[in-house]
Structure 1
Amino acid sequence: MRMMDTPINASDSSATETVSTTVEWEAGSEKTPVYAVVSAVAEAEGVDRIDLPPLYNAIDSEALNDLFTSDSGAVSSVEFQYAGYSVVVRGEGTVEVSSANV
């Protein structure tokens, strides 16, 4: 799994900076979209995955995996809020999280 941290200036003020983290997931492996979401938020937050609230409080985890691991390919991306972060899951195999307070 590849993780990338990219500082982003949310405004012209250097005091307002947040971190965007991208994690890749792979269809047909244990690195599911759900695993990537939790891993990306944990990385951005600087905590262990088990310290985060349950993902199912924000989105149906099983449905999220099914959307992106089925053969239909009908969904290109899904965006939702989780643990104070804006999360975008993309069909090409990436999850990007950024502070929801941007």
Structure 2
Amino acid sequence: MTPPDSPREEDEDLRTAVASDAYTSKIPSDADRSPTVCVVEAVSEAIDTDLTELQPLYDAIDPDALDQLIGPPHRFTGGRIRFRYEGCTVTVDADGWIAVSSGLNDGA
């Protein structure tokens, strides 16, 4: 059992846990945009593609569920969500970091 004051491996900062070539972005805590919009914007930026040219996010993951897990007031407190979208692996952690990696060997 891990003592409460000990850092856990899953608490590792997402930016250090993903491939070095991954694009990272942070969901602002006071964002006036939903977390799913922030995720789509991060993917758009990472693959240098206009937002209007991306497939609907719901083809990859339930956007309402993602918003409920990531956004207030029910934000999850630990772990990561990982899914494939637009040929990339998208990882979102409990701290609001988004990593977009184009690698196929990144664990998704």
TM-score for the superposition, normalised by structure 2 = 0.68
| 24-33 or 89-98, larger mean C-alpha shift | 24-33
CA distance in 2 between counterparts of 1:56 and 1:80 reads 11
Q: How many residues align?
A: 87
| Equivalent residue number for residue 95 of structure 1 | 98
Is residue 57 of structure 1 aligned with residue 54 of structure 2?
no
Taking structure 1 as the reference length, what is the TM-score of the superposition?
0.72
Identity %: 33
Q: Name the counterpart of 1:32.
A: 34
Distance in 1, matches of 2:34 and 2:92, equals: 11
1:8-35 residue CA offsets vs partner (Å, 9 max, x unmatched) = 4xxxxxxxxxx41111113452233211
Tell me the equivalent position of 2:82.
Answer: 79
Shift of 1:77: 1.3
State the alpha-carbon separation in 1 of the partners of residues 75 and 39 from structure 2. 21
Unaligned runs of 5+ in 2: 1-18
Residue 16 (structure 2) aligns with? none
Shift >4 Å, 4+ stretches: none
Is the CA contact 1:89–1:95 (under 8 Å) kept in the aligned structure 2? yes
- Which structure has more relative contact order (CA 8 Å, sep 6+)? It is 2
Letter in 1 for 2:23: T
Q: Is the strand fraction higher in 1 or 2?
A: 1
Rounded to whole Å, the distance in 2 between the matches of 1:75 and 1:21 is: 21
The Cα RMSD (Å) is 2.3
Deviations 1:42-77 (A, max 9, x none): 111111111100000000001101011233535531
Deviates more, 1:19-28 or 1:32-41: 19-28
The residue number in structure 2 matching 1:21 is: 23
Partners of 1:100 and 1:30 in 2: CA distance: 31
